[in-house]
Structure 1
Amino acid sequence: MKRYLCMGLVFLLAVSLFAGCGGRLNVDRSTVYVQKKGTVLSADVIQFDKAHYDETELEEGIKSQVEEYCSEAGDKVSMESFAVKDGVAKLNLKFDTFEDYQNFIQIELYSGNIVKARAEGYDFDAEFFSVSDGEKKSVSTEEVLEADDNKVVIIKANVDVKVDGTILYVSGENTSVKGKDTASIAGDEERSEEADVTYIIYK
């Protein structure tokens, strides 16, 4: 169950992000930002139809879901802001760890290095591409695993993913890069159960 699902709207929201140091980064596509210190910053963005949703009731519902989670897990999730402007609803959330993001949002997410990811059962059975020079080139899984102290974000959602570092490899034909620190995973449905598991390796 989506913990912050309220009146059907938040279930459809797409993940956006904060920038570091308390600032915000405006994005035009759903994005998850995995920070160096382990926190995950996100913001949900969707067209808001006031004819079908009540802004105040929705905000209170989201707050309630956050409070419920924190009552069980501790103060691991915070709702930074919620606003509706020009027909667009934006929900900003902060998570202490990737586990909190995964448990709250119910989207698979992992952050660590390659060694730890493999120990957790991730087999890296995917088609990989080098992107460090700005061009997407096919590489072997063996090459990707060679430097097993490199960091990896693993996610099962069609979103953009920002990291604190330089992306070296990505998996999937539908994954590209937008600058050195952001990967873009294309797909028809951002939170589709059919989304592939995507690996993003960086240093």
Structure 2
Amino acid sequence: MTNNRPRQGSGMRSRNSAKSPTRQGVAARELQEARRKRRQREVMRNRIILGVVCICIFALLITLIVKLLGGLIGSGNTADTSTITFQKNGQVVFEEVIDFDSDTYSKSELKSYTNDLISSFNETYGEEAIKLNKLSVKGDEAYIKTTYKDADCYTAFTSYETFDASYEDAVSAGYDFGELFSTVADNVVGEAQVVDTDSLFAGMQVAIIKENVTVVVPGTITYISNANVDLVEADTVTISQADGNEDASDLVYVIYTLE
């Protein structure tokens, strides 16, 4: 009986005990490797996110710089001829180029006179109805830039008939559009003809001017009335009398779509 008892520390138990540390070491190394790879993936992901954020910030900065430079450059530009610009917010900007005679009055006198006119008008029409943006003199020409609250304000101050609103508003205001109109497409003016204004102009904007000036609208011109009008660009026309008579003027309709 004694001889049949299994001996402690048999070979089988010894082999099992010898393998356990090895398996534990392999598992530990595999765990460390998995953790290392996970950290690498996290680092790579964070680098990608940081790179995308940096690119977006850089693109935004470039856009802001371009807009700022464009605004600064644009603000320094002045019209060569008297120009009325209609803006999306309803305001009207008028750049007037007039003859200047230093023997008649000085630049300071011209500025004082202009400011007095504007101040007097604002007192009756409303505060900040008109704002003087710039006044300069170069040689025998004076340049005056003013901003008006709206087209009605411009008409009230200058006495030149001016309108800028939708076609429906123009009809309600009493304009009958009984004119010949030319289509405008790709900077080409078509032949003048009678058109169905109610169907063609519905939903469009209308600038109406009775003054010999350059006109700029905040969109793309689609039709113009056929009365001493020349297309300059997709958003610009000039109005002038064929015989050069500056005292005469025609009521001009400019139909456009907002941009």
The equivalent position to 1:85 in structure 2, one of 138, 154, 163, is 138
What is the identity percentage for the equivalent residue pairs of Structure 1 and Structure 2? 29
Q: Does 1:97 align with 2:97?
A: no
1:162 aligned partner? 216
The equivalent position to 1:35 in structure 2, one of 68, 87, 108, is 87
Which range is displaced more, 93-102 or 129-138?
129-138
5 Å-filtered alignment, 1:106-185, equals 106-137=159-190, 138-143=192-197, 145-185=199-239
Contact 1:153–1:201 under 8 Å retained in 2: yes
Aligned Cα root-mean-square deviation (Å): 2.0
SS in 2 for 1:196: coil
SS in 1 for 2:142: strand
- Distance of aligned partners of 1:144 and 1:86 in 2 relative to their CA distance in 1, 3 Å threshold: farther
SS in 2 for 1:66: helix
Cα distance in 1 between the residues matched to 2:254 and 2:76: 23
Q: What is the TM-score when the length of structure 1 is the normalising length?
A: 0.83
Instruction: Give 1 or 2: higher strand fraction.
Output: 1
Cα distance in 1 between the residues matched to 2:207 and 2:199: 14
Cα distance in 2 between the residues matched to 1:150 and 1:40: 18
- Distance of aligned partners of 1:51 and 1:151 in 2 relative to their CA distance in 1, 3 Å threshold: same
Could you report, residue by residue, the CA deviation over 1:34-85 in whole angstroms, capped at 9, with x for unpaired residues? 0011000112112211112222222111101100111112221011121111
Aligned-residue offset at 1:107: 0.6
Could you report, residue by residue, the CA deviation over 1:144-177 in whole angstroms, capped at 9, with x for unpaired residues? 7523110000010111100110000111242121
Instruction: Give 1 or 2: higher helix fraction.
Output: 2
Residues matched between the structures, number: 183
Aligned-residue offset at 1:195: 0.6
Contact 2:229–2:240 under 8 Å retained in 1: yes
Which range is displaced more, 154-163 or 85-94?
85-94
Structure 1: where are the runs of 5+ without partners? 1-18
Q: Which has the higher contact order (CA 8 A, sep 6+)?
A: 1
Contact 2:224–2:254 under 8 Å retained in 1: yes
Q: Does 1:197 align with 2:247?
A: no
Q: Does 1:46 align with 2:117?
A: no
Aligned-residue offset at 1:129: 0.7
SS in 2 for 1:53: coil
2:107 aligned partner? 55
Counterpart amino acid of residue 55 in structure 1: K
Structure 2: where are the runs of 5+ without partners? 1-69
Q: What is the TM-score when the length of structure 2 is the normalising length?
A: 0.66
- Distance of aligned partners of 1:184 and 1:20 in 2 relative to their CA distance in 1, 3 Å threshold: farther
